[in-house]
Structure formats: C-alpha cells, structure tokens
Amino acid sequence: MKRFEMNALVFHQTDMMDFITLPEKYFSEDLLWERWPVRYIDVQVKRAFLQEVTRRCKAQGVAFYPEFKEIWYPEGLLEVYPELKNKDGQICPTNPFWFEFVAEKMDELVRYYPDVAGAIVSPATRESKVSISKMTCDCERCRSTDPNKWYEDFIRAVYKPLEACGKTLVIRDFSYSKDHQNAVIEASMAVSKDIVIGLKNVPHDFWPTFPDNPKLGQTQGLAQWAEFDVWGQYYGQGAFPASLVEDFQNRIRHCRSKGVTGAWFRTDIEWLDESNNMNSFNTLNLIGAAMLSSNPDRDLDEVYDAWLEWGLYSGFTASSETGEPVRPSAPDARERLQAFMRAGSKVMEKALYVRGHVFNYSSQFGQSLSAIYNVMQVWHQREQWDPGSAKHLEPTPENLAVIYAEKREAVEQAEKLKDILDPGTLGLPDAFLVEIEAMLELYVWYARGYELSAHAYFAAQRALQTGERSDAVTALANADALDAFQGELASHLETTVYPHYVYWLTSPTRLHQLAEDVRSKVNSTSEIA
C-alpha cells in the first residue's frame, strides 16, 4: 500500500458482523455461556485481532473499512426470537426487528472498534440471509411493502450509529436487477447526502466483457467510489493469469469522467482460501489499478515495469507458502511478460465467456444445462444491461458457428502462450520455472474444457429446440467427446500436486456431470432415446 500510494484497507466477508459483534443486547454473556460458549469465545478472539488490525492501520494513516452483506444473523437468534419466522417458517424481512438489530450491530462495531473509518454494506444482494430483494415471505406486510421504503429504513438504521461517531457509510451496490439498483441509490439519498455509493465498474458483478455500469455518474449527487476485481474471480482466479490493466485504463478514465472520487480493489474472495493477488501473476492487476487510479493516462509500460520490479508469484503455490517474489533476469523479460499477460486476457475472454455473456461459475466449468443457462441468462444475464444481446445465444446455425469459432480461437491462443513467454529463457529459478510450465500446460487443458463444454451445451440446446434427430445425434456425440476429454484430464491431474484451488477450477467431475446431463435431457426428448 505504501509503495503504490493506497490509503485504505478493506476486509470483506459476507457474514463478518456476526464474527466481530454479538450484539450484546440480544446475546448476553450469561446466555452465551449457557447456550453458545464457542461463539462467545470466537467473537472475543476475532475482536482482539481486528482491534489490532485497525490500530496498526490508524498508526500508518490507513483508513480501515469492514465490508459485509446484510441482513445476516447467527442461527441462535431464531431460538431466542422464534417470532421472526412466520407461520410457514419463512423469515419475514419487513419485521421491524431487523432494523433495530442491524442498528445494534453497527453501534457495537463503533464501540469496540473505534479506529474503523466506517463500514461498507450491501443491502440489496440476494447473498444475504434476509433482504427485500429476495422476498421469500408472502405475508400481507411483505406484499404491501415498497422496496424503496425498506431500503431507506435499513440504510437509516445502519447510518445513524456511524454518523454519530463521524464514520463513513458506504452503501455498496450489489443488485441483481436495475430496479433494486435504483432503489438503493434513491434510498441512500433520502437518508443523507453524506452517504457514499460504492459501484462496481460494471453492473452487478466483475465481468470484463460487460458494459460500464450505467449508474456511474447517476447517484443523485452522492459521492461515488468504484470497485474493481483485480484478482480475477471470473477470469481464471490468478491460477490462469491474465492482464486487466488495459481494460482498467479505459474503465478508470470513464469512472473519473463520471465524477468518481475513490476506488477500491478486490484482491481475493472470502470463500476460497489460499488464492489471492499476492501469490499469482495477477499482482500486475492490483499494481496497475493503483497506479492508474492516480493517473489513468500513464504509459502502461510503467505498470509492467513496476510489476517486474515488485516480483512474480506463480499462482501454483498456495498463498500461505509463498516466499519472496521472483524477478526474471532476461533483458527482454518485461516485453515477453507483457505480451503473455495480454494474450492470456484474450484466452479468458474467449474461453470463459460466450460472445460477452458469462459462461463460467466463478471460473469453474458449468456442470449442467440448467446451471449454465441460469448463470448466463438468468442470474448473471447481460440482457438487462445490454438489451438485444441475448439473441446472440440462440442456438441457430449462424450463432453456433460464431460461438464454436470463438472457443477454437481460445484454445489456439492458449497453445501459443508458452512460445510467447518462453519461460526457460526468462532467467527464473528452477523451482519457479517448474510451476510456470505446469501452469502453461494446464492453461490449454482449461481452455479446451470450455470449448468442449460450449459444444455440448449449445448442441444440446439446439437439439432440444428443434427436436430433429440429426441435432440429437450431434448433441450426444458432443457429450461423448466431452466425457472422453474429462477422463483424459482426470488422468493428467492424478499425477500432479497443485494447490486445491487449481483442482477446484479444473474439476473433471463437473465436465462429466454436464455430459451426463446432456445425454439425459436429449435422450428423454428425442426419437433416439
């Protein structure tokens, strides 16, 4: 942070508040010792840890922000307050209790962690336990509640304890729809002009192929901070490195033109241990984002030079086992690494996306027809942000030709990565070189898995749509080809020793499940069953 002039540290975990607050109003010491002593001790330990983190941040002039999704609660709360469930056992998000509950948690946050600069809260995500955005309760009060009013009440509840202590509230937009995105911003404005709106650089989530977030510059005068993923949740997760700095340069220019005054950069994800920006080639993206934030017009050669000066990590050593970064000694190392990272970006875009639409599940292979469809056209749909784009996914012969060509290009470009990098002549330590060569070999397997998945998925969609025997035969043949490939991949992985997240990303089991699902669906609806 000092080297690249960053001034704030963010800890993000969905349920963080339930690890660092009780709150005491509902969970007294006596109750916890009687019912949940482990939770009581756990909160005490994490409290000591976070107090030390915030103390060190303050001493170095670094603002510290916890980031979490609300409403969340410990399971014991429903035992203490069973009335929070309706008669059908559903949690009612419009129960006034929840606003009191989040206010108490925020009050406890500022009392026990006085050195926090504020908090970053996501109220509109479907990933929290309770939210109006899910609407799982069908009681009369829920049916008649205006989502805008619910967001306003929620935001006011978390804002007041922070405002009383001079802390900053950042409302993080993590909406799954335009309607809820608009509601959160309007509700924030109704509460206070001092609230900061945190917007991802693209709508909903971190997909480099998506258009700019349309809400940038549309926050009704509220301060804006933009959020970027520099690790690559949907871009190979660092195990398969790819540059995002070229994209960031344009995105940051756009953000600044829309009045954005701050940015923060996600370096990992809370549910995947041992993989982050600091143990992969994708450290480049963090360095680049920091440098470009202060000057988006800087020559990108400077960014790549700064990355090499910092040093390389392979991505194939778990973060808890990394040592000092490696600096290649070849005089043309920067040029080759620059070309390699840019080429990796092209592979990711063509392998993990279909004509710009999301074709991966956090960089994992899709495991069924419905799972792929829902990711691509329901949960993570591009259509609502780019109207008309869904027609490019229809299984017409013309579209299929473009899609299959895109996936073939991804594989061919992945096969060229080793020649672009020529790692044996970069001047790398032998042990590091072994890891880089393993990564380059698996990169091709990875791209090939997406190619065959696309053939299996779209051929099946074609067969299910037309009902033609010839299309069914093609779909089944593609499923067989995918299954044969996953067997080869499984045999290859059997002899390797990589960090667990590499196997998580390249799981042959998921490919086999997709092949089986294609066979089941096509056989059940075709004449060749």
Question: H/E/C letters for each residue in 24-65?
Answer: CCCCCHHHHHHHCHHHHHHHHHHHHHHHHHHHHHHHCCCEEE
Supply the pLDDT for residue 529: 45
Please give the pLDDT value at position 179.
63
- pTM for the model: 0.94
Residue 184: the pLDDT is 87
Q: Which CATH superfamily is domain 8-194 in?
A: Glycosidases (3.20.20.80)
d(CA 309, CA 321): 21
**pLDDT reported for residue 183:** 83
Position 424 scores a pLDDT of 97
Classify residue 361 by its DSSP letter: B
Burial of 164 (0-12, 13-18, 19+ CB in 10 A): exposed
Classify 284 as helix, strand or coil. helix
The CA radius of gyration of the chain, in Å to the nearest whole number, is: 25
Q: Running along the chain, 529 residues long, what does each successive block of 10 average in pLDDT?
A: 96 95 97 96 97 97 96 94 88 94 98 97 86 82 90 96 98 71 87 96 92 93 96 96 98 98 95 94 98 97 98 95 95 98 98 98 97 95 93 98 98 98 97 97 98 98 96 98 98 97 98 98 76
Give the sign of the dihedral formed by CA 71, CA 76, CA 80, CA 86: positive
Structure tokens at 137: 């309760």
Compute the half-sphere exposure of residue 202: CA atoms within 13 Å on the CB side of its CA. Answer: 20
Angle at CA of residue 266, ends 203 and 22, nearest 5°: 100
